[in-house]
Structure 1
Amino acid sequence: MPAELFDSAACALAVTAQDGTILQANARFSEWLGFSTAELCGQRFQDLLTMGGRIFHQTHLAPMLRMHGSVAEVKLDLLHRDGHKLTMLLNGNKRELADHVVYDLALFGTTDRDKYERELLNAHKTAEALLQEKTAAELALHQAQAELSEAYAIAQRRALFAEQMVAIVSHDLKNPLTAIRMASDFLSRGERTAKERQLLGHIGQSSERAQRMIADLLDFTQARVGQGIVIKAAPLDLHSVIHRAVDELRVAFPKATLEHHAQGHGDANLDADRVQQIIGNLVANSVAYGDLQQPITVTSRLGDGACEVSVHNYGAAIPEALLAGLFEPMTRGTDQGSDVRSVGLGLYIVRELAKVHGGDVAVSSCATLGTTFTVKFQGT
């Protein structure tokens, strides 16, 4: 190629030896990388690539050029002299001379192509969104038709829901969460800066929230499509169990002020873990919807045939229209956002746990006195 055409080409051109040493480079190559032509000559082409590009060059690009004699439209990231990354497309060709082999390389900028690809991707996403809307409309129609055969539809939904929930909890959620918690616990053992401790605290709180969600999903699956929620009742000190639960919840909800009041004495025969789960769900509900400027009160009562726990918070009253269905799954007391909210199963799980203990749950709510959830057990 005449020197004038080589130097004035609209793309970057380079000729390298077999080991990648640049023997010749044109002005466009020099201009794009910020090096002079003299600085480029003598450098190895692979040394101008990012680390990933160097690995790709060694494992794929160089072997392909040696074996096949050419490559086309290989995307590589090169480093400008000032350190920023340039994405280019490379075409390469092996040329055998009398006593040695050289590689002719041509590189093209991808700015316009990347812009086109982004526009194409956006168009693809728009098409997917339209398809999802169409799918949602078809699903709604299908659900309406399914109501004509209620028994069949319920069986199908339960089977599908059980499969999905088991898959999500056992694989997609539980295993990654365990890894996160183990890593967080390991990191928290060493000396950390205040910022690192804060971040580890956020990780711990998020993990606790995820763990509660997983527990609720598992229990919901057991209650709706399984053999029912299982408990292991045993004699326990109800006040001590609630006290420990409140101490743990203070760590999980540091922005809330939690108080425990113990009233009366007596025996209780309950599942301690499930009782703590009830308190955890009710406190999480209070944190999500209550006024955190005022304390959340957890009360355990024993004696005179009573065995119950209650959780009280101040804040906006639950609308009367929502009270009747408050303990149904996927139901929330308001549309107000909250970082601590779960998937809308907490109160449903509380009711189911109360029932398997032979009891029930009730709620009272008004603007002046606040909201109180009371769980009564037949566990004495």
Structure 2
Amino acid sequence: MPADLFDSAACALAVTAQDGMILQANARFSEWLGFSNTELCGKRFQHLLTMGGRIFHQTHLAPMLRMHGSVTEVKLDMLHRDGHKVTVLLNGIQREQADSVVYDLALFGTTDRDKYERELLNARNLAEALLQEKTATELALQQAQAELREAYAISQRRALFAEQMVAIVSHDLKNPLTAIRMASDFLSRSERTPKERQLLGHIGQSSERAQRMIADLLDFTQARVGQGISIKAASLDLHSVIHRAVDELRVAFPKATLEHHSVGQGDACLDADRVQQIIGNLVANSVAYGDLQRPITVTSRLCDGACEVSVHNYGEPIPESLLAGLFEPMTRGTDQGSDVRSVGLGLYIVRELARVHGGDVAVKSCAVGGTTFSVEFPWLG
């Protein structure tokens, strides 16, 4: 190799004898180890190695060069003049020169490579740590999901049991309430003092209220636990059915002024008892939350292909935030009127009865126009 190329090479180059004596070294070799070229020539290559490097040179590197004539990418730690280590990769090849054998050595710095390998190792360790974390998180998630499913199943069983108990208790309460009401009616037929008649009136109103609550509870459990609310639809005169319902409700709610308006003519295919129950629940709701100084209007409508019943009352409007969930069970518009409706099922039952007929219920409420609940049925008349 021309002297200028040898001396200006980008890697460290050296030529040694078989015993390791450095015969020639380039500027890069001198620069890396901190020795001048003059100082290097005459030193043995193995003497520039750390103690571990010397052992490796004696037991592996020198024998490999003699046996195979070359070595590739052997990692060695060399000692700088000031004592710090310089890690290099060595490539060596045996070459015959005149009547002797020499070794051409090329040394490459490993600083960047070591840094890259450390980054790779760090990245691998990080990836493994993330994988372990991901696995642990997935296991925790699976466990949490299993616990959630179990908790949900338990809550469902408890809810079902509670609803079944409500159904049983509600059903069993019907008989004693019927007996109370019959006894109250019987006693009211005899001569009574004004105070006694007042008390009997309270008993009758309370028993009627309790019977309405029990009817709602039984329908609720039938809708949630049983096969759904059942109806017996038949052709009927809608206006007459609503008129009778309003007359009965005037007795049940003597403090309210109930008016009935009928629009249009024709028959509808509905369950008369269930329609009366719808009107009863909506009127009870209006009595509880409406302004009893103004009339509650019940309208039955048969016209323009629509069959509809509605109940309107004046009073405080229903807050906008409550409208979306108003027909869910155990929901109230306000705390007002809790002495009239206490279980919060009336509007839920109205919605379920409307749907089982193939219809639906809607509500509009504002400060000026009041509140109107409308139940629309398919008109088959």
Give yes or no for contact 2:306–2:379 (8 Å, CA) kept in 1.
no
* Amino acid paired to 1:183: A
* Alignment match, 1:155: 156
CA displacement, residues 269-310 of structure 1 (integer Å, 9 cap, x when unaligned): 000000000000000000000000000000000022110100
Task: Give matches, 1:140-219, under 5 Å.
Answer: 148-149=149-150, 151-171=152-172, 173-219=173-219
Deviation at 1:155, TM superposition (A): 3.1
CA displacement, residues 151-198 of structure 1 (integer Å, 9 cap, x when unaligned): 514530342123311231122x22221221111011011122222222
In structure 2, stretches of 5+ residues that fail to align are 1-145
Give yes or no for contact 1:270–1:379 (8 Å, CA) kept in 2.
no
Task: Give matches, 1:1-380, under 5 Å.
Answer: 148-149=149-150, 151-171=152-172, 173-380=173-380
CA distance 1:279–1:146, change in 2 (3 Å): farther
Give yes or no for contact 2:329–2:344 (8 Å, CA) kept in 1.
yes
* Amino acid paired to 2:212: R
Partners of 2:300 and 2:179 lie apart in 1 by: 35
Partners of 1:303 and 1:157 lie apart in 2 by: 47
In structure 1, stretches of 5+ residues that fail to align are 1-144
Partners of 2:216 and 2:179 lie apart in 1 by: 20
Partners of 2:225 and 2:256 lie apart in 1 by: 35
User: Partner of 1:334: helix, strand, or coil?
Assistant: coil
Q: Percent identity of the aligned residues?
A: 80
Partners of 1:216 and 1:302 lie apart in 2 by: 27
User: Partner of 1:299: helix, strand, or coil?
Assistant: strand
Deviation at 1:337, TM superposition (A): 4.4
CA distance 1:379–1:233, change in 2 (3 Å): farther
Deviation at 1:334, TM superposition (A): 0.2
Partners of 1:342 and 1:245 lie apart in 2 by: 22
User: Partner of 1:301: helix, strand, or coil?
Assistant: strand
Partners of 2:320 and 2:292 lie apart in 1 by: 22
CA displacement, residues 344-365 of structure 1 (integer Å, 9 cap, x when unaligned): 0000000000000000000000
Partners of 2:379 and 2:300 lie apart in 1 by: 13
Please report the TM-score for the alignment, with normalisation by the length of structure 1: 0.60
Give yes or no for contact 2:289–2:337 (8 Å, CA) kept in 1.
no
Partners of 1:157 and 1:337 lie apart in 2 by: 30
Give the 4+ runs in structure 1 shifted more than 3 A: 145-151
Give yes or no for contact 1:147–1:153 (8 Å, CA) kept in 2.
no
Partners of 2:174 and 2:302 lie apart in 1 by: 37
Partners of 2:321 and 2:290 lie apart in 1 by: 18
CA displacement, residues 111-145 of structure 1 (integer Å, 9 cap, x when unaligned): xxxxxxxxxxxxxxxxxxxxxxxxxxxxxxxxxx9
Larger radius of gyration, structure 1 or 2?
2
Is 288-297 or 159-168 further displaced after alignment? 159-168
Aligned pair count reads 236
